[in-house]
Amino acid sequence: MASSSPPLLALTTGEPAGVGPELVVQLAAAGELPARTVAVGDPALLAERAARLGVRLELQELAPGSSVPASAPGILPVWPVALHAPSRPGRLSVANAAYVLETLDVAIQACRVGQADAMVTAPLHKGVIIESGHAGFRGHTEYLRDACGIDEVVMMLATDRALHAHEASWVGGGALRVALATTHLPLREVADAVTASRLERILRILHADLVRWYGVKTPSIAVCGLNPHAGEGGHLGTEERDVIAPVLEALRAEGFALDGPLPADTLFTPRHLAGIDAVLAMYHDQGLPVLKYAGFGRAANVTLGLPFPRTSVDHGTALDLAGRGEADRGSLRVALALAAEMAGRGACRST
């Protein structure tokens, strides 16, 4: 941990034209930031969004990486990163894409060297970062993987009732954890990306982190097929038979509790989810619509497999709401609480 107690969360404020900055200032003003939280972003931007919304807030500028006092209502410690261009709510600017990446770099570096204990991210806009010249940018998840120099990480979203260690498994009524075998890929590329080696890596990380972070002794994971009806015995696709099933079989032989490959449309029903600790979906829009239907606004995104905890909101930049103070703060609240809980357990990897 960065200091004796409590853990320090580095909270990146996200795309400056989106709702991230205002969510951060609103939570800070209301005293809803966990015990020690430092925003990473442009202080003038945060002051402008606070003033725009009539939020009374004192910003405390601190040198990036320096120590941070305990959170207090109406006070927001900031590790400053300067905007590259003025920002207006709802108006993207490619000039500020580098700024967004710089905020990530500050937080990642702080977590890697132990100056912060966990990272929480407000939403960024993938398109504007790609348009700024970062053609390979896909999202925080992939950026963090590469920045930490590791081969694989797992994106998992969980509704609030399934976020914490004491919530063992699906109990009906909206508790759900959904991990993804592939993340931000065009659908056309998904089938080729569902390889045996990727699935094996993903399942090992998911299994290990369900034990590590959630206290599940023997994680029970339900795995979706890729094709309709999980391939209908090979008549509607062969990936289940040729790729997914053999990986599950090999891991079962090691003691993994894996169900599948199952048709996704029947897997996501209460009867099939009973006793399941997490679902592994093959692609983004196979799993996340169900998760968001179950708990949009009270769910969080977790990156598994990193050397430090990283959580995020379940929503994007919401440019249509930016600057109006109407965006729901629930998911950021949940993401912060989860990061604090994970960091509090001091469960950093040794990678």
Q: Is 96 annotated as a binding residue?
A: no
Q: Is 166 annotated as a binding residue?
A: no
**The binder of ligand LD2JLWAY chosen from 26, 37, 312, 317 (CB under 6 A):** 312
Out of ligand NAI, ligand LD2JLWAY, none, which partner does residue 127 contact, by CB within 5 to 8 A per kind? ligand NAI
Residues that bind ligand NAI (CB under 6 A): 19, 121, 123-127, 140, 301, 312-313, 315-318, 320-321, 327-328
Amino acid making up residue 173:
G
Q: Is 140 annotated as a binding residue?
A: yes
Out of ligand LD2JLWAY, ligand NAI, none, which partner does residue 288 contact, by CB within 5 to 8 A per kind? ligand LD2JLWAY
Q: Which is nearer to ligand LD2JLWAY, 77 or 139 (CB)?
A: 139
Q: Which is nearer to ligand NAI, 29 or 222 (CB)?
A: 29
Residues 6+ apart with CB under 8 A from 195: 243
**The binder of ligand LD2JLWAY chosen from 6, 7, 20, 139 (CB under 6 A):** 139
Question: Stretches 37-45, 82-90, 138-146, 229-237: which one binds ligand LD2JLWAY (CB under 6 A)?
Answer: 138-146
Q: Which is nearer to ligand NAI, 132 or 227 (CB)?
A: 132
Does 178 participate in binding ligand LD2JLWAY (rule CB under 6 A)?
A: no
Give the binding site for ligand LD2JLWAY (CB under 6 A).
Answer: 139-141, 288, 301, 312
